[in-house]
A and B are shown apart, each in its own frame.
Chain A
Amino acid sequence: MAGLFPPRLVLGVRMANIESSLLNIGYLETLSYQDTPLQRLDPRVKLLTTLAFIIAVVSFGKYEITGLIPFVIYPVALIAVGNLPPAYLARKILLAAPFAFFIGIFNPLLDRAIMVHLGPVAISGGWVSFASIMLRFCLTVSAALILIASTGLNAVCLALDKLGAPRIFVMQLLFVYRYIFVLTDEALRLVRARALRSFQGRGMGLKVFSYMIGQLLLRTLDRARRIHQAMLSRGFAGRIHLLRPLRLRLPDVIFLLGWSLLFVLLRGYNIPHLLGSWAGGWIR
């Protein structure tokens, strides 16, 4: 929705950011073109496993930390097998952090009852639940990013289609994704042209802005008409045919069942507690 940004970001800095973040979308997708065991898996299997992972993670109680830690294995293993760049993914996670952070940071302020003693340090329930929120945030967001980086949007759409999502919605996703790159290029050209002609913030107001958006909208509508005609002349009859046969093979089944079983086990047994008490006993 409409956002508010500090003024300095309006010009160059923000533009550079936008361009690099768009390049990043393309980059996320290109990661899925690699040929590793992860990328070769059936997209349906990856989509379902991602959902199972997210549901398992968010089903923990609000003060859970140790129980969540073993779940780190899922992103770590996928990043390793899929040859995905961890630093890049971490940067993307950080960019998305503010909302969860700002809502979560109220917990330490509101819930001050001491919950855990670590030697001399006493930790309040609020900090524990805040840490839990940030941990969940990192886990769920990384799972979603890994899904795209390992599968690509077209294959995710194919999976959605095969799993019964409404066709028109799947077509929407494909179209939006296809034209994001075209139209943002156009928008960035407009922004650059305005910035070059603007001195001391003149012309940056609502009036010029609305003309620019209006122009962009008119051009978009024109483009949509041309696209539609082009599609009709190529035999478009109301649906996009996604030609890529999907077949479940043994590795797909093992991936889905194996991870789901692991999530159930990790949900039921607190591995760090077991390990910790075992190690504690051993040290003594």
Chain B
Amino acid sequence: MHMADALISPAVGGTMWAATAGLTIYSAKKLKEDLDEHKVPLMGVLGAFIFAAQMINFTIPGTGSSGHLGGGMILAILLGPYAAFLVMASVLTIQALFFADGGLLALGCNIFNLGFFPCFLAYPLIYKKIVGTKPSQGRILAGAMASAIIALQLGAFGVVLETLFSGISELPFTTFILLMLPIHLAIGIVEGLVTAAVVSFVWKAHPEILTMAPTAPAARAHSHKPLLLGLALFALLAGGMLSWFASTHPDGLEWSIKGVSGKEELEASKAGVHGAMAWMQEKLAFLPDYDFKKPEEEQGAKSAGEQGEKKEESWPGVSAGKSLSGVLGAAMTLLLVGVIGLGLRRFYTPNKG
């Protein structure tokens, strides 16, 4: 599932861009070290293969719906984590540019959710551990299923966290998690089955292809590095989530925060990620937002859906006259834009030279 630009804040988009850019540069460097030149066109063509394979569907027995291949796990199994990550990044970039899947700012989030988790976590920690060096039908099935499901769950979890940190959507954490994880469990099972079926087909037809993925000692010696990086990032995300949680649901986590730090919850939330985000938002905004809700009011809005009247008092909103003038002004602006557009088109129309 692709994150969209519309749902993320610049702070979240920028952070994920930075993380993804770091991973891309790191993967590019790793790949250069043991560059097997043969891999360069192979990677490109396999990226195109992922697109092509998504054109082919199959019916899922019993449900009457149909599924297709996602690709992250197959790429990791065929190419190894670094190359697979780069291929996934390029596939997602093309999807963002041509199909408007996601967006350019959300590209960092999408590459992270759909590339990092399968390539750097699920493949080395789950698939490789299960399948090992001696693949068998059963091991491939188990490995592909487990890794595909977990990679997708983590990806969905990433989507939830990124959405929450951005604060554009109103969905509360638990509802969103309960919405996303079961859907992605189903998708993950399908993805696992497909991955297992294709990998075992290739294994039977040309077993040597499956050993293309780097099993060289050099690659193995470094393989704990992305793991550490991943754990650090995960810890950062989890920590951020915890402090966010603490700041929006003061009654829920208060005791644990108090117990750990001995401080009041409010202070903790100000010093934590929330404070940092607010600071970044302040830095990013060129002028203070007159209609941006303060965090305290947001808390109120979240904890009380039905206390609408109380909230109306606490946040008076725009007066009737002001909002009418806003609508009038918006209409005038759009009209102006339309006129400018028509004028430009008339002025620049080609074939009239």
Contacts and interface: CB of A to CB of B under 8 A. Distances in A.
Contact of B205 (A34, A66, A103, A214): A214
Main SS at interface, chain A:
helix
A171 B43 CA distance: 10
A224 B321 CA distance: 66
Contact of A106 (B68, B94, B169, B286): B169
A176 B91 contact: yes
Interface in B1-25: 1-10, 13, 24-25
A162 interface: no
A61 B169 CA distance: 12
A113 B311 contact: yes
A272 to B, nearest CB: 3
A272 B42 contact: no
Given A220-B46, A221-B209, A206 B329 contact: no
Interface residues of B, number: 135
B105 interface: yes
Given A50-B104, A129-B168, A145-B100, A66 B337 contact: no
A166 to B, nearest CB: 4
A117 B104 contact: no
Interface in A42-100: 50-51, 54-55, 57-66, 69-70, 72-73, 76-77, 79-81, 83, 92-93, 95-96, 99-100
A180 B54 CA distance: 11
Given A58-B105, A100-B6, A168-B32, A211 B201 contact: yes
A251 interface: no
A281 to B, nearest CB: 9
B56 interface: yes
A114 B308 contact: yes
Interface SS of B by simple majority: helix
Contacts of B209: 218, 221
Nearest to B32: A168
25 contacts: A1-B191, A4-B60, A9-B66, A36-B350, A54-B105, A57-B5, A61-B291, A73-B337, A80-B340, A96-B99, A99-B4, A114-B308, A137-B4, A141-B5, A168-B32, A169-B90, A176-B48, A191-B55, A210-B194, A213-B69, A213-B194, A228-B41, A272-B328, A276-B324, A279-B325
Interface of A: 1-7, 9-10, 14, 18, 21, 25, 28, 34-37, 50-51, 54-55, 57-66, 69-70, 72-73, 76-77, 79-81, 83, 92-93, 95-96, 99-100, 103-104, 106-107, 110-119, 124-126, 129, 132-134, 136-137, 140-141, 143-145, 147-148, 153, 156, 165-169, 171-180, 182-184, 186-188, 190-191, 201, 204-214, 216-218, 220-221, 223-225, 227-228, 231, 236, 238, 264, 267-268, 271-277, 279-280
CB-CB nearest 9 A-B residue pairs? A175-B44, A276-B329, A210-B197, A272-B329, A214-B201, A61-B292, A179-B48, A209-B58, A276-B325
